[in-house]
Chains A and B, each alone.
Chain A
């Protein structure tokens, strides 16, 4: 085994580009591990952790590109590092025209701009965000790892100026039909949405589109907005904006449980809202009396979709979330192929909201789950890489995304985990989500197919079958071609649903008899 690295001084690239280079280099024969990253302190520690260190690495700064390779031989390492120039050259070729390097220059160039989108390392966000607000720009902050007190400062400053801060840690928004960040391509219509749950908001907008209706605006607030530290500043502003927006007839809020004080504040505001509001606060419990006249309570994203549609189309009936007889038969048949040892579900999610909602639905069916992002801290996994009995993992959690792109873009971590779950003889069901739309992987299903096939094969060698259940979050207008992605899954023997709640309910059906025999 041999290792080596190169440092390119003052060559800064974003994480998505670095992932592309990393992927290209890691595919070379004889390569065991590669790391392509900028020289921040945290990244340098990651390198030390894999045995790459020394004076040169210590001296590198956050503007320096570091590429490290561990390979089977010195020749492999040398040839891979030589390949680096080709990868970087391909990037440079895509650049054309004069480049702008600062927010100030961009504002001078586009003085009529009304929105700044920030996706830079969290530690630099406050400086750039303050500048943008001072110049009258609304903000969409994709970056995470921004201190909560900094978020509060930004949101208070913005509210003072009548500006909106979507984020930090904001994955998606659709403003007037334009998708920002990870957003699906959906029809325009009269249903408005607000939410700190990025993938929850994405699935809501997709389901509305797929049911033949449309979205006026979907405003992401950032994952911490409904915490008591922030107090829902952006959510309340968004609510006011949608209330005043003529196109919007009903407003839906999709969120994990808000802070206690913030939920009370929000409910008071909703009571005074002149438009109907659908509240999907996943896992929050509340007495009917507290809802008020304007709030419709939705326990799942699917319920929120139906409730919102009912407000714009009275003919729509509120259906119960349930499985068809055909789906129940499918579950019975799948179960019949398992070995007696196979009894657990392993959920590997790109969407944090999906991980959360699945836990809720399984728990409701008395199926106790462990997670790295548990509903109840007592069900937290000791180590996120080591599953225990029924386990649902949020692969977008910081543990997995630190220094790496999100699993919606980069499938590497999820592929590896699918294989390790496939090896475990106690695993019966694999629950996955696939998220389409702008900025997501162009072939999310294709990225994981090899791993799914291999995991299924391993299970067959153990004498059983692996039941793979998936939900797809997407529309027929998304760039990835929804039909094709779904076809690929079905051809691979995967049982596909268009909602995470339905897929989770199907898992409950699969596991119910097993669960009963355990208890």
Chain B
């Protein structure tokens, strides 16, 4: 069986874009199926809170 990294070169790309929305726009222009994640720092960027949440969830 082929590794997924080799399959990536053969398959149609389906992209999850996390961050700069321009990257999703340029993929859409190329007719790539893409979903934009409007990301923001979890727990307001509070490192301790993020670690705590990760342990709880």
Contact B37 A103 (CB under 8 A): yes
Known: A12-B40, A100-B38, A179-B26. A117 touches B3 (CB 8 A): no
Contact B41 A162 (CB under 8 A): no
The answer to whether the Cβ of A15 comes within 8 Å of any Cβ in the partner chain is yes
Q: Is the interface of B mostly helix, strand, loop or mixed?
A: mixed
Residue from A99, A117, A136, A162 within 8 A of B18 (CB atoms):
A117
Contact B18 A244 (CB under 8 A): no
Of the listed stretches A121-129, A325-333, A505-513, name the one at the interface; the rest are far from the partner chain: A121-129
Contact B18 A116 (CB under 8 A): yes
A176 to B14, CA, bound (A): 12
Contact A163 B35 (CB under 8 A): no
A121 to B22, CA, bound (A): 16
Known: A127-B54, A178-B13. A14 touches B19 (CB 8 A): yes
| Cβ distance B33 to chain A, nearest Cβ, rounded Å | 7
A97 to B49, CA, bound (A): 31
Contact B33 A110 (CB under 8 A): yes
The answer to whether the Cβ of B48 comes within 8 Å of any Cβ in the partner chain is no
Residues of B near A99 (CB, < 8 A) are 38
Per-residue contact bits, chain A 57-90, to B (CB 8 Å; 1 contact, 0 not)? 0000111000000000000000000000000000
Contact A162 B5 (CB under 8 A): yes
Max chain B C-beta neighbours (<10 A), residue from A114, A179, A238, A240:
A114
Known: A101-B40, A121-B41, A244-B6. A112 touches B16 (CB 8 A): no
The answer to whether the Cβ of B9 comes within 8 Å of any Cβ in the partner chain is yes
| Cβ distance A299 to chain B, nearest Cβ, rounded Å | 29
Contact A113 B8 (CB under 8 A): no
Residue from B4, B36, B44 within 8 A of A62 (CB atoms):
B44
A39 to B44, CA, bound (A): 10
Contact B22 A16 (CB under 8 A): yes
Contact B19 A161 (CB under 8 A): no
Residues 8 to 37 of chain B near chain A (Cβ within 8 Å): 8-24, 26-27, 29-30, 32-33, 35-37
Contact A119 B23 (CB under 8 A): yes
Contact A245 B6 (CB under 8 A): yes
| Cβ distance A215 to chain B, nearest Cβ, rounded Å | 12
Contact A119 B13 (CB under 8 A): no
Contact A240 B6 (CB under 8 A): yes
Contact A63 B37 (CB under 8 A): no
Contact A439 B23 (CB under 8 A): yes
Residue from B13, B27, B29, B41 within 8 A of A176 (CB atoms):
B13
Known: A119-B20, A127-B54, A178-B32. A138 touches B5 (CB 8 A): yes
Contact B14 A439 (CB under 8 A): no
| Cβ distance A181 to chain B, nearest Cβ, rounded Å | 7
Give the residue name and chain of the A residue nearest to B39 (CB): A120
Contact B40 A127 (CB under 8 A): no
| Cβ distance A105 to chain B, nearest Cβ, rounded Å | 8
Known: A100-B36, A180-B27, A181-B23. A107 touches B5 (CB 8 A): no
A500 to B23, CA, bound (A): 26
Residues of B near A132 (CB, < 8 A) are 16
Contact A137 B41 (CB under 8 A): no
Contact A117 B17 (CB under 8 A): yes
The answer to whether the Cβ of A109 comes within 8 Å of any Cβ in the partner chain is yes
Per-residue contact bits, chain A 299-337, to B (CB 8 Å; 1 contact, 0 not)? 000000000000000000000000000000000000000
A175 to B15, CA, bound (A): 12
9 A–B pairs (Cβ distance < 8 Å), ordered by A: A103-B39, A110-B33, A114-B14, A118-B19, A158-B5, A162-B4, A164-B5, A175-B9, A245-B6
Closest 5 interchain pairs by CB?
A62-B45, A162-B3, A12-B40, A119-B19, A164-B5
Q: Which residues of B are at the interface with A, using a C-beta cutoff of 8 A? A: 2-24, 26-27, 29-30, 32-33, 35-42, 44-46, 50, 54
